[in-house]
Amino acid sequence: MSNQACLFAEDTPAPYNPAKPMKLARRSLSIAGAAYQIPVFWLFCFEEEDFVVVRLPRKQSFSTLVAPMEKVRQRLAERDELAKRFFPDAVEIWSGWRKAIEAVDRRYLKLDVCEIWVLYKNAKELEREMKLALDWFDCKDDYEFTSLLKLAGIEDYDDKTHRVLFDENRWCLEKSLIGWYETIQPKSKARSVKKRAGKKAKR
């Protein structure tokens, strides 16, 4: 079983805490999942101000991200050209991603990295990588961009052509950019529509 990250939405701002039972009243909506990584377009939704600390028993803790959906949609709109310029082969994937997020009818977008931070030597190491990745949206520095790619599991990127290089027989571009969709699909209708879940995408 792989260590997975999860992107989901709820109406309350509290982050997911594995030490506390989930409450059905929170109307949790799973959006996307990913194995061993935090996909690139997930991080396009956040900024450093969205960091929150999840406290666990035995004085353990790790940081994750929670953002108001209004700000998330604004950021995706502002970063539209950035996504298309640095990932030109993923224009359709990006368009689908924006449609999927636009269809979410919850107030907060949340990142669950509980199973990811345990892969690092300590929680601060993952937090540093995430902060560097988010800094890239302001600085556009190569060093920060490396962290964005690293978190997504992208090992080879051509700076001249802006293309992700990978073995097409083993991987697909969606894996590193959006992971897989859970209950939200790109073809979802406007947020006023009550039924928005399509068939679950293949992992």
pLDDT tens string 119-156: 887 778 999 999 999 999 998 888 899 999 999 999 99
Banded pLDDT at 15 (limits 50, 70, 90): confident
Domain boundaries, the chain: 4-181
Sequence-ordered list of residues with C-beta below 8 angstroms from that of 130, at least 6 positions apart, any chain: 38, 43, 51, 63, 65, 147, 151
Tell me the whole-structure pTM to 2 decimals. Answer: 0.85
Q: What is the pLDDT of residues 88-123, one digit of tens each?
A: 999 999 999 999 999 999 999 999 998 898 888 777
Cα torsion at 95, 100, 105, 109 (round to 10°)? -90
Residues 184-195, mean pLDDT to the nearest whole number? 48
CB 8 within 8 A of CB 112: yes
**pLDDT tops 80 at residue 172:** yes
Banded pLDDT at 60 (limits 50, 70, 90): confident
CB-count exposure of residue 49 (10 Å: 0-12, 13-18, 19+): exposed
Residues 4-12, mean pLDDT to the nearest whole number? 94
Tokens of 59: 């004085």
Residues 170-194, mean pLDDT to the nearest whole number? 71
The whole-chain average pLDDT of the chain stands at 86
